[in-house]
């Protein structure tokens, strides 16, 4: 089922893991739009929810609330049968360890062909697509090799072939260059870029690798289970000095015209959610000693955020603690710890305005 909207739309996406009586909020209202044919990267500190997001988009895990729509399919509403079909035909998944996609006693070609057999692809189409895919990932010459005869990069490229066997519309990769050296990482990246360009394949890759972040169209930063920043890569033809153009004009008949040079520029943004909240980079807050509260002013050049004046933070904390302690031991309400100092703080904040 094709659709014309964006390839991925996450709106206020929430994922809560329950471990015994503890709840871990891995995604807390994440917003993300991925256009068709985009090659984008997701970065963020460990534990920020990157793998959780990938697992949800890959249909391996269910969202708890919010919206997650991929190619027009609402992942919150799919039956378990529909989710299995989604996993099999809509998305391809590549992990940090290629072995998660591969069967060790099969050859490269057999590994790539296997999901097509399971997916019921007719033999003729299967043979053609296997050959084309093996060429696209640069392994056609090695199709008869067993996995143990391949380097780490070749195994990962086989895993990419397996992920694309059933012609998914989107490829998800969770740290695909996480376990390989620089040169190998580059061959994996080149393969992904080539697939993105040849098949207008939408690719979302989680990465820690700065080289990867420099080679994709867009980098989205996740922090504490929310999208917090975005970096766009723009490639434009470089402007050349007028003198150079004149000289070229004189020689126009004999010389081949040189390829225009490319300028790559990056634009960094912070992301605002629907309620107007944004995450200010932690370094900025530390530099200015801003925590807890700040002042926001509208100025001619934009919005100015300064440390809250007239607030002595340590003193304030101590006062809340004193008052809270007179309330006696902490009460529990439905498994959630009730902290009277927090409740008081809320009252004071409202009273202040
Ligand atoms: P990242 O990939 O950015 O390192 P994850 O998505 O793996 O982060 O994890 C986000 C948070 O969710 C972490 O606090 C992690 O401990 C928790 N988490 C992830 N998967 C599970 C799970 N299956 N059960 C319980 N908690 C989980
Ligand atoms: Mg992870």
Q: What does the alpha-carbon distance between residue 22 and residue 16 come to, in Å, rounded to a whole number?
A: 10
List, as one string, the DSSP characters of 161-179: HHHTTT--SEEEEESTTTT
Q: Which atom of ligand 1 is nearest to the CA of 55?
A: 6
pLDDT for res 318: 47
Q: What is the CA radius of gyration of the chain?
A: 26
Backbone φ and ψ of 35, nearest 5°: -80, 160
Ligand 1 in reach of 44 Cβ (< 6 A): yes
Q: What does the alpha-carbon distance between residue 110 and residue 102 come to, in Å, rounded to a whole number?
A: 10
**Distance (Å) from CA 46 to ligand 2 centroid:** 7
pLDDT for res 309: 77
pLDDT for res 288: 84
* Ligand in nearest proximity to the CA of 175: 2
pLDDT for res 2: 53
**Distance (Å) from CA 322 to ligand 1 centroid:** 36
Contact 279, 226 (CB under 8 A): yes
Q: Residue 190 corresponds to which tokens in the numbers above?
A: 């080149």
Q: Which atom of ligand 1 is nearest to the CA of 44?
A: 3
pLDDT under 50: residue ranges of the chain: 1, 243-255, 315, 318, 320, 323-353
Contact 186, 211 (CB under 8 A): yes
**Distance (Å) from CA 11 to ligand 2 centroid:** 21
Ligand 1 in reach of 24 Cβ (< 6 A): yes
**Distance (Å) from CA 195 to ligand 2 centroid:** 24
Ligand 1 in reach of 19 Cβ (< 6 A): yes
Longest dimension (CA), the chain: 91
Q: How far is CA 67 from CA 12, 15, 63, 82, in A?
A: 6, 11, 8, 17
What structural domains and CATH numbers belong to the chain?
8-229 (3.40.50.300), 313-352 (no CATH)
Nearest one of 200, 158, 194, 198 to 176, comparing CA atoms: 158
**Distance (Å) from CA 172 to ligand 2 centroid:** 13
CA angle at 263 for the pair 266 and 180, rounded to the nearest 5°: 65
Q: Which atom of ligand 1 is nearest to the CA of 54?
A: 6
pLDDT for res 333: 39
């Amino acid at each position: 089922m094709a659709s014309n909207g964006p390839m991925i739309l996450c709106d206020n996406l929430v994922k809560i893991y329950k471990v015994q009586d503890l709840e871990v909020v891995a995604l807390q209202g994440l917003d993300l739009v991925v256009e068709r044919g985009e090659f984008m990267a997701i970065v963020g500190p460990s534990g920020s929810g990157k793998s959780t997001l990938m697992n949800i988009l890959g249909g391996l895990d269910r969202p708890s609330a919010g919206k997650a729509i991929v190619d027009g399919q609402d992942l919150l509403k799919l039956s378990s049968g529909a989710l299995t079909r989604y996993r099999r035909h809509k998305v391809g998944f590549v992990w940090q360890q290629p072995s998660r996609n591969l069967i060790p006693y099969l050859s490269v070609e057999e590994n790539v062909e296997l999901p097509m057999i399971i997916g019921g692809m007719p033999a003729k189409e299967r043979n053609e697509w296997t050959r084309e895919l093996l060429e696209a990932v640069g392994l056609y010459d090695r199709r008869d090799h067993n996995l143990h005869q391949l380097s780490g990069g070749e195994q990962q490229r086989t895993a990419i072939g397996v992920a694309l066997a059933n012609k998914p519309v989107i490829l998800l990769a969770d740290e695909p260059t996480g376990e390989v050296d620089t040169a190998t990482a580059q061959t994996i990246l080149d393969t992904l870029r080539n697939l993105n360009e040849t098949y207008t394949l939408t690719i979302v890759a989680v990465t820690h690798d700065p080289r990867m972040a420099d080679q994709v169209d867009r980098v989205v930063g996740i922090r504490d289970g929310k999208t917090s920043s975005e970096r766009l890569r723009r490639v434009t033809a470089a402007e050349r000095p007028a003198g150079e153009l004149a000289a070229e004009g004189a020689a126009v008949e004999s010389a081949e015209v040189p390829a225009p040079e490319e300028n790559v520029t990056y634009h960094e943004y912070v992301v605002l959610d629907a309620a107007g909240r944004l995450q200010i980079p932690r370094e900025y807050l530390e530099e200015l000693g801003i925590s807890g509260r700040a002042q926001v002013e509208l100025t001619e050049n934009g919005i100015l955020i300064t440390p809250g004046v007239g607030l002595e933070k340590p003193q304030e904390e101590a006062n809340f603690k004193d008052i809270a302690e007179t309330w006696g031991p902490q009460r529990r309400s439905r498994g959630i710890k009730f902290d009277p100092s927090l409740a008081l703080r809320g009252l004071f904040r409202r009273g202040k305005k």
